Structure 1
Amino acid sequence: MELEVRHLRALCAIADTGSLHKAARQLGMSQPSLTTQLRRIENSLGAELFSRGRTGCRPTPLGRSLLSRARPLVAGMTALITETRAEAARAEGPELHVGSTASRALPGWLRRLRARLPGTDVGLRVDVSARALLHDVADGRLDVAFVHEVEGCPLRVPDGLVHRVLVAREPQFISLAPAHPAAAHPVVDLADLAADHWMVDPSVDGEWDGLRRVLTAAGIDPPLLQGDYHTASSLISLGEAVAPCQPTSVPREDLAVRPLRGDPLAVRLLLYARPATPLDPLHADLAAAYREAAHRAAPYRAWLRAGGTAEPCLAAA
């Protein structure tokens, strides 16, 4: 088996993320496929490149030696692909490739971008992994990425990217059944949810660790469920679970949204791009879209009016 650039890129992704699961997400492939590919690479070389343990994957001495030679090759090929794509885009017409983690500001942002950039093909890719989006920006597959960073779990940002902060500390609210006793109050205490099952999506970067850190600090140890938030909404409406949610979430008949007392859960909202990208107008459109989404969400609007810390982009919410 001869090593190809795709194999070297996979090895770099495993080393950068320290996890086969996260590396597979970053590469857009399944974990079993990546595990099989790594096994074939190691078999062809006759030695292990990574040691696997409970804390993840770490390069062996041989792995570190190979990676030191592989990274310049991968970077060179990435630069070649980026430049070629840029030339192709100039020939076919302007394009803007946007990436984002889930946000209710996205529809308003895309509407504003298309109005600002008539004739530009504005594409969107939504991913639960902020790290995967940032790597795609660095590699030239995306022009800009709007991501969130869980408080206490900083993102590993590729070198060379520039950013703007949209919201330095966005509080995370709680989603619960309208019949839940805590829903009778405008603000919910963590202690009132100690006996509930908490639902969290472990594939969202930092979400699992951030929630566990906050619950531990509060001295409570509720049962935790793992699953995506689409599944969570059906369990929450039946009173089977509670889950953190964005403050821009709009309550429904079967779902109540409440702020948590003291705002223990929070994220930072960030916009990333490569240095040549004009970030300021993109940031201005995103800020206006976020303000629009915040104004539509009654619980968030009430939180702001009650003295919640208002960011500049929320001044008119």
Structure 2
Amino acid sequence: MELEVRHLRALCAIADTGSLHRAARQLGVAQPSLSTQLRRIEQELGGALFVRARTGCRPTPLGRLVLSRARPLVAELRALVTEARATAMGGKGLRIGSTASRALAGWLRRLRRHAQEPTLHMDVSANVLLRMVADGQLDVAFVHEVEGCPLRIPESLRIRVLVEREPQFVSLPADHPAAAKAVVHLSDLAHDRWMIDPSVDGEWDAVRRVLRDAGIDPPVLHGDYHTAANLVAIGEVVTVVQPTSPSRPETAVRRLHGDPLGVRLLLAARTETELEGVYPALVEAYDEVARQAPAYREWLERGGTTPPVPALP
């Protein structure tokens, strides 16, 4: 067996997380597969690299020696891949990953004003995007973390919190009886069909918990949120939406009583420098869409948890 970069990356992940289980999750592989890989590496190098204990894994003297050489190699290769991709894109490419957000358009527009040429990779899974940043496939990722369902954030990433808790609202047909209210109780929607996208990390678990806590058990359809928006418009379902979502002639976006469901909005990158380069533009873009959403603007003006953006007049 010859050592490869993936083997060195695996050793660094085990050392950084202190656990085969957490390292396997960070690398996106099964724990038995990582354990087998580690045994083969140790056989190749002639000794144990980690001491396994109930409290986790810690490097042996041989392991520390190997890691002292492996870390710079892994870092250099990551830098090489990043620089090569940037050069191939003319040296201007900023690779952004994001889950859905109305702030995206304004963010990209502002970045272009500063001579940056962003490319955008969308994914419903925040965990996938974070892993892509850690692996050098993306430069930054703007993601949301559903309350009660923590994301698997690689330890190598730097995080900036845009909004500590953004309440999630509900979208319902404009002719729904509850649409006449500024604030909707979950009990008002107990007999409606809900549509939830289960591929969004943590979304279904959180909504199911909120419905259960409210003592209701409505019928639930699974599907993407683009389809959900169309079904709301024709009166077939209600669905969870971001508070920045606009109402349409056929739909109404309303706050849920007690704000039972929230998300944390995060920006992730490998370095603080990368964060500093794009974070201010994201703050401005988010503030812009927050001001344009009447229900959310009213919630903020009445003392909701204000995100770290300029104060609303």
TM range (shorter): 0.7 to 0.9
Shift of 1:166: 0.4
Shift of 1:121: 2.4
What code does the residue aligned with 1:110 have? L
Q: How does 1:36-115 map to 2 (within 5 A)?
A: 59-60=31-32, 63-68=33-38, 80=77, 82-87=79-84, 89-90=86-87, 92-115=90-113
Residues 14 and 254 from structure 1, CA distance in 2 versus in 1: closer, same or farther, beyond 3 angstroms? farther
8 A Cα contact 1:294 1:314, kept in partner: no
Q: How does 1:261-276 map to 2 (within 5 A)?
A: 261-275=257-271
Q: How does 1:142-221 map to 2 (within 5 A)?
A: 142-221=138-217
Residues 254 and 79 from structure 1, CA distance in 2 versus in 1: closer, same or farther, beyond 3 angstroms? farther
Mapped partners of 1:137, 1:69: distance in 2: 28
Aligned-pair identity in percent equals 55
Mapped partners of 1:14, 1:204: distance in 2: 23
Shift of 1:83: 1.6
1:16 pairs with 21, 25, 31, which one? Answer: 25
8 A Cα contact 2:111 2:118, kept in partner: yes
Taking structure 2 as the reference length, the TM-score comes to 0.78
Q: Is there any run of 5+ residues in structure 1 with no aligned partner, and where?
A: 24-49, 51-57
8 A Cα contact 1:82 1:141, kept in partner: no
What code does the residue aligned with 2:303 have? G
Match of 1:228 in 2: 224
Residues 284 and 85 from structure 1, CA distance in 2 versus in 1: closer, same or farther, beyond 3 angstroms? closer
How many residues were matched structurally? Answer: 274
Mapped partners of 1:17, 1:159: distance in 2: 9
What code does the residue aligned with 2:125 have? S
Mapped partners of 2:194, 2:24: distance in 1: 32
Shift of 1:203: 0.6
Mapped partners of 1:124, 1:70: distance in 2: 39
Match of 1:53 in 2: none
What code does the residue aligned with 1:158 have? P
What code does the residue aligned with 2:127 have? R
Shift of 1:315: 1.5
Residues 70 and 214 from structure 1, CA distance in 2 versus in 1: closer, same or farther, beyond 3 angstroms? farther
8 A Cα contact 2:26 2:131, kept in partner: no
8 A Cα contact 2:139 2:274, kept in partner: no
- The two structures, once aligned, show a CA RMSD in angstroms of 3.3
1:258 pairs with 254, 278, 283, which one? Answer: 254
Residues 86 and 69 from structure 1, CA distance in 2 versus in 1: closer, same or farther, beyond 3 angstroms? farther
Mapped partners of 1:133, 1:76: distance in 2: 24
- State the SS of the aligned residue for 2:192: coil
Larger of the two Rg values belongs to structure: 2
Shift of 1:64: 4.5
Match of 1:35 in 2: none
CA offset digits 1:262-287 (Å, max 9, x no partner): 10011000110002533234211101
